[in-house]
């Protein structure tokens, strides 16, 4: 068991941003070159030695040109390994409301468009796991819940 603590199996950590319109609709990005339901939240996977918050800021800037200011952790979604994907934890952080003047500059090679999707339309726009994550994040935000995400031994994130 001690070996598992010092040399754990590899796991994927995804860090996703929940930006909302003034009406409360989540900002979603339409993936390019994929079939089926293509909308997702901005963000992506951490690389070796990178914290979830660092990954979130990096990926959101790469994908949208936006500077994310993560607040409360709204959702942690565990996904077991499948034949095509490693086991992982997907974290959704509240990144606040975007003003109508905010400039979203998409990474053209990865995304074709962005939209603020009505929460009632998520099931028709995204993969079931994505829709469930976003609905859960919107719910936790609505009820005023969430959790503070801490990094390392001595650097708490306190809004």
Q: Which residues of the chain have pLDDT under 50?
A: 154-159
* H-type alpha helices, 65-127: 122-125
The pLDDT assigned to 67 comes to 96
Give the burial string for 84-98 (b: 16+ CB within 10 Å, else e).
eeeebebbbbbbeeb
Q: Which of 8, 11, 5 is nearest to 52 (CA)?
A: 11
Query: What per-residue confidence (pLDDT) applies to 2?
Result: 57
What is the token pair recorded at 134?
Answer: 């976003």
Q: Tell me, what's the pLDDT at 82?
A: 83
Enter the tokens of residue 14.
Answer: 């995804």
SS3 content of the chain, % helix, strand, coil (to 5): 25, 30, 45
- Residues contacting residue 122 through CB under 8 Å, at least 6 positions apart: 26, 39, 130, 131, 134, 135
Q: Residue 153: its pLDDT value, please? A: 52
Contact between 129 and 77 (Cβ < 8 Å): yes
Note the pLDDT of residue 158. 44
Mean pLDDT of the chain: 87
Listed in sequence order, the residues at least 6 apart from 48 whose beta carbon sits closer than 8 Å to its beta carbon are: none
């Amino acid at each position: 068991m001690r070996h598992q603590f010092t040399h754990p199996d590899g796991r994927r950590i995804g860090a996703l941003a929940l930006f909302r319109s003034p009406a409360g609709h989540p900002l979603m990005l339409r993936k390019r070159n994929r079939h089926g339901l293509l909308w997702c939240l901005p963000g992506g996977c951490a690389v070796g030695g990178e914290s979830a918050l660092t990954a979130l800021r990096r990926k959101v800037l790469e994908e949208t040109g936006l500077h994310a200011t993560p607040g409360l952790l709204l959702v942690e979604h565990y996904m077991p390994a499948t034949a095509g994907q490693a086991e992982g934890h997907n974290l959704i952080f509240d990144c606040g409301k975007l003003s109508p003047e905010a400039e979203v500059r998409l990474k053209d090679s990865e995304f074709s468009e962005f939209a603020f999707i009505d929460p009632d339309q998520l099931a028709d726009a995204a993969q079931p796991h994505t829709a469930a994550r976003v609905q859960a994040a919107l719910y936790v935000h609505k009820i005023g819940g969430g959790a503070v995400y801490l990094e390392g031994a001595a650097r708490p994130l306190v809004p």
